[in-house]
Amino acid sequence: MQKIFGGKSTTPKKALLLGAGFVVKPTLTFLIDHDVEVTVACRTLESAQKLCKDVKGTKAISLDVENAEALDAEVGKVDVAISLIPYTFHPLVIKSAIRKKVDVVTTSYTSPAMVELEKEIQEAGITVMNEIGLDPGIDHLYAVKTIDEVHKAGGKIKSFLSYCGGLPAPEASANPLGYKFSWSARGMLLALGNTARFLKDGKTEEIPGHDLMSVAKPYSTGYTGFAFVAYPNRDSTPFKEKYSIPEASTIIRGTLRYAGFPEMIRCVVDLDFLSQDTQDFLKPSSNPLTWKEATAKILNSTSSSEQDLTWAISSKHSFANTEEKSRIIAGLRWIGLFSSDPIIPRSTPLDTLCATLEKKMAYENEERDLVFLQHRFEIEHADGKKETRTSTLCEYGDPKGYSAMAKLVGIPCGVAVMQVLAGKMQKGLLAPYTPEICDPLRNELREKYGIDMVEQTVA
């Protein structure tokens, strides 16, 4: 098929879209709407066919990215490869793209394994564009915008805070964690074990993963309808260099959750429910234990009665007060840990718990999700005046369409793909940390798709 524009014939661009996650569909439909021919590749053909159902101009295939020959064969047929598979597999895709001289786009952070390929990427003359989803992605576009504006006016960024939360909308948050799973419960819970590093008042601080929930604090966004708590997320210290703010004495990037989340998680951690150690009594069985029996074994309780389980819990976890104890015990009861329901055994306490959480805390039909992202800049202007400025994105999902999270990852990815295909991106290993990359992406997302962060001076 050929299209005629201005009297010249052009061959449609072709893309290989790798992945089966929830952000794949909005990226897929975006590309199809922009006349890109898309091949969707998943490990199983069934997953790819499901994504392609009712989407014209697509082709579904089964592909194992660890099979270099098969991957090369598919990458060699297209103009761009979009890798929305787990980040550990991106280097395999990039190596194939280097061999076939094909551009790549991902929504993941630029990993050390990718950096090791930077010279080969440059020699191949291809573009590998990373970090263009929501977080990372949209967050970079607006951080760079304000920082660049302040610097050009002779000012300084003294403090930079950035917090993002993917949450159920308030009306859908009625469970003990105030959270629902649109992706792997295991991934979310394991992320809570990552050590956090950040810069505060000129000093680098480090919080071990097991203490992370202890530093979660109420966080005022200025939007008083939300009761958020915030905690630091992974390593914020490289952003001093990435955002070109050597003058900043505080740099913290983190996560938002609803109030009550940290206390529940802290208790679950203390009770060893996030343990990844294999237990014989949790191995798959035709006659699995009940939850109260499994809980008794995990806690080493004298019996599986709720009274004894509560005593065992109190011996392992310190509650702030009686009210908090009642709330958390009620939450554990809601999850089903004291019940006679059979467990879904998955060998470890973590995976067995995840099986139940994914079942009980999935989004129901007609329920919306919420994405809330906010930057807070403490600015010192050239004339010495101080300003506190926020940049905020608050987006709800559409129960009849895409979730807010899927939209805000998928659409920025699609826009970046189109800019790469149009030759608007420079060659090399890229991420949106400069105005030259950020400005065109941010402007198109705002003007064409209504994806914007609202800026306010709050002090």
Active-site positions? 135
Cα–Cα distance for residue pair 296/204, rounded to 1 Å: 41
Q: Which of 103, 4, 102, 12 is nearest to 56 (CA)?
A: 12
Residues in CB range of 389: below 8 A, 6 or more apart: 146, 376, 377, 379, 455, 456, 457, 458
**Tokens 């390929």 found at:** 117
| Alpha-carbon distances, residue 98 vs 79, 109, 125, 247, 431 (angstroms) | 12, 19, 8, 38, 18
Q: Which of 106, 141, 143, 110 is nearest to 438 (CA)?
A: 141
**Tokens 């959750």 found at:** 257
Q: Which of 258, 261, 268 is nearest to 167 (CA)?
A: 258
Q: Are strands 369-380 and 386-396 parallel, antiparallel or unpaired?
A: antiparallel
**3-state SS record for 288-328:** CCEHHHHHHHHHCCCCCCHHHHHHHHHHHCCCCCHHHHHHH
Say how many C-beta atoms besides its own lie within 10 A of residue 360's C-beta: 13
Tell me the three state secondary structure of residue 233.
coil
Main-chain dihedrals φ then ψ at residue 358, nearest 5 degrees: -65, -30
Determine contact, residues 144/438, Cβ cutoff 8 Å. Answer: yes
Determine contact, residues 144/375, Cβ cutoff 8 Å. Answer: no
Q: Which of 397, 404, 379, 399 is nearest to 389 (CA)?
A: 379
Helix axes 138-152, 435-449, angle to 10 degrees: 120
Determine contact, residues 451/137, Cβ cutoff 8 Å. Answer: no
Give me 74's structure tokens: 């598919």
Tell me the three state secondary structure of residue 213.
helix
Tell me the three state secondary structure of residue 438.
helix
Cα–Cα distance for residue pair 136/441, rounded to 1 Å: 14
